[in-house]
Amino acid sequence: MEIQDLYKIYLSKPRVTTDTRKEVKNTIFFCLKGPNFDANTFALTALERGAAHVVADDPQLKDNPNITLVYDVLTTLQKLARHHRDQFKFPVIGLTGSNGKTTNKELIAAVLSRKYRTYFTQGNLNNHIGVPLTLLSIPLDAEMAVIEMGANAQGEIRDLSNISDPDYGMITNIGKAHLEGFGGIEGVKKGKSELYKHIKAKSAKLFVNGDDEVLMELSEGIEKTLFGSSQKFSCNGSIQKRKPFISFDFEHQGEASGEIQTQLVGTYNFSNLMAAACIGCYFDVSVNEIAAALKAYRPNNNRSEMVDTGKNKLILDAYNANPSSMELAMSNFAEMDHEPKLALIGHMLELGEESKVEHQKLVDHLSNLKLRAVLVGSNFNEVNKKGFHYCETPKELKKWLQAHSIENHLIIVKGSRMVAMENAKEFL
């Protein structure tokens, strides 16, 4: 079956699923495969539960009229998503970066939603499966789309850009994330800048943080709109307060926003806020509407989320961590006007040969900041952690927290996703 024929089926039943544990009625079920599963075995189950059609690659399923057999289901899913994307008559913004992708995506979507029917990546659907699913969830009568793209290795952003074909691109930053897969920081630069190459090839446009020298260098020769702290940028602003939520203001073409009180902590969020303001201004969202959207935005899902437990105030930033985000988060935490403070730090993953060095740098940074901290995870095993309490596992941390009554603290909780540091919340 040609993609155009499958697309006709999709248009009649424009909902796609890959999991029979979720609602499959009137959907197209794609039988994806992985190292430990083969959804072809659920093809008939999906039809029994009301799926309108199934896309499979197991020849044994060839005799069912409601099953389309293809050579590779994932490739077909990606081709269908690209075909659907080619029908869009509205702008698609592609977003990637080492840190802050999700926060940026949500801020940008919040701003654009003030004027346009905006669709954007939900949760962490930002990989070779998630991006196609996101595109296929967007109706043709949408007015704006924001697509988040994540990667662990070089070539992945190139592939995701080819699927989503963004009209506009933005990289949040280049940092020490997924060093093992990318092959070091230079590999991260090459991998993330694949979005810039795609934008340049189609003569499209970038939104670039003009304060970031690395991004400015990588974007040389590509049409771009700049944002940041300098008045020479199209959209410029400054931080006003940090108590602990930051407030800021911005100006665009002579129109000033006035002070905007946000619900975000960390000066590192200034560039995220400015990116959303810049993109909003570019697409003619009024300054007042931009300010209202940024003021109303509240982070969740353990991303710079402020929580008052009644005993302590927590900064839950436990969704993920890498050396760059850790350094920024700890520096900002140390500057916060609250005593006593405590940092609960889970180890960082996917750092390869740099793991020991980067964990030692983190411990040294905590020491220089004079922060009290508890270190969690085996990647801290081989570093000099004198002066800090160490728990090899989250289970040990649980026992430590149960044995110590911690009250009236400001506590930051941060670590890689696999450590699930947010589970410490119930003991705080």
> What are the tens digits of pLDDT across the range 294-308?
999 998 877 788 899
Contact 238, 247 (CB under 8 A): no
Distance of alpha carbon 248 from alpha carbon 259, whole angstroms: 5
> What are the tens digits of pLDDT across the range 325-334?
899 999 999 9
> What are the tens digits of pLDDT across the range 175-220?
888 888 888 888 888 889 999 999 999 999 999 999 999 999 999 9
What is the token pair recorded at 78? 């990606």
**In the chain, which stretches have pLDDT less than 70?**
none
Run of H or E including 306: strand 305-308
What is the token pair recorded at 323? 């050396």
- pLDDT (0 to 100) of residue 233: 96
- pLDDT (0 to 100) of residue 327: 92
Helical spans, DSSP H, in 228-354: 269-282, 287-296, 323-335
Distance of alpha carbon 323 from alpha carbon 179, whole angstroms: 10
Pairing state between β 260-265 and 245-252: antiparallel
Q: Which parts of 195-234 are beta strand (E)?
A: 205-209, 224-228
- pLDDT (0 to 100) of residue 137: 97
- pLDDT (0 to 100) of residue 293: 98
- pLDDT (0 to 100) of residue 75: 98
Q: What is the mean pLDDT of the chain?
A: 94
- pLDDT (0 to 100) of residue 338: 87
Give the global pTM.
0.90
b/e per residue 127-159 (b: at least 16 CB within 10 A) = bbbbbbbbbbbbeeebebbbbbbbbeebebbbb
Residue 207: count other Cβ atoms within 10 Å of its Cβ. 25
- pLDDT (0 to 100) of residue 125: 95
Distance of alpha carbon 81 from alpha carbon 145, whole angstroms: 14
- pLDDT (0 to 100) of residue 16: 96
Reduced to 3 states, what is the DSSP secondary structure of residue 326? helix
Distance of alpha carbon 393 from alpha carbon 369, whole angstroms: 25
- In order of their start, the domains of the chain are 3-80 (3.40.1390.10), 88-296 (3.40.1190.10), 305-427 (3.90.190.20)
